[in-house]
Homo-oligomer: A and B are copies of this chain.
Amino acid sequence: MGIAEEAFERLRRIVVEGEFLERMAALGVRTQLSPGLIKTLVRLSQSGGISMGEMARNIGVDPSYITALVDDLAERDLARREPDPVDRRVKIVVLTDEGRRLAEEIQAVLSVPPASFGVLTRSEMRQLRDLMDKVIAADPALSGPPSPSGRKLVDSG
């Protein structure tokens, strides 16, 4: 196993096997939102208004399931459909104020590092963040910022 593999294997274990998973589960319980709904909400808050189809490609599920997902969010008053001004087939999904608030709350929770991160010094954390930024910048699917600055799609599928 090369160094890159070793490094990534650690990364993966920390995220998918560590304390983080429990936190996701707890988040689901507290918000009463399924993983799919949480993902949808977060992506919506990153893109600030995308069509049903874009969303389907974006989070990698079938369009018919987006209908169900958005129905669900709409029933909870977290999102709503708006007509596209130029193509009447298209519906744009936008977050309500409450949806945006909840999405931000969720993202905050997701960003809280596991307690074990406490062993790193500030300088090590900076190092880590900079390394991660370099990797993210090199991944076209990730390099769009999480702030609502516009598009950022897998799209080319």
Q: By the criterion CB–CB under 8 Å, are B20 and A129 in contact? A: no
- Nearest first, the 7 A-B pairs at minimum CB distance are A10-B132, A8-B113, A116-B139, A116-B138, A7-B129, A9-B111, A119-B138
Given contacts A128-B7, A135-B116, A139-B116, contact A110 B19 (CB under 8 A): no
A3-14 Cβ-contact flags toward B at 8 Å (1 or 0): 111111111111
Contact, CB under 8 Å: A6 / B129? yes
A68: Cβ under 8 A from any B Cβ: no
- Cβ of A118 within 8 Å of any chain B Cβ, yes or no, is yes
Copies in the complex: 2
- Flag if B4 contacts A113 (CB, 8 Å): yes
Q: Contacts A4-B125, A117-B135; is A110 near B141 (CB within 8 Å)?
A: no
Report whether B4 and A117 are in contact in the complex, using a CB–CB cutoff of 8 Å. yes
Q: A113–B18 Cα gap in the complex (Å)?
A: 19
A27 to B25, CA, bound (A): 24
- Smallest distance from the beta carbon of A112 to chain B beta carbons, Å? 6
A86 touches B (CB below 8 Å): no
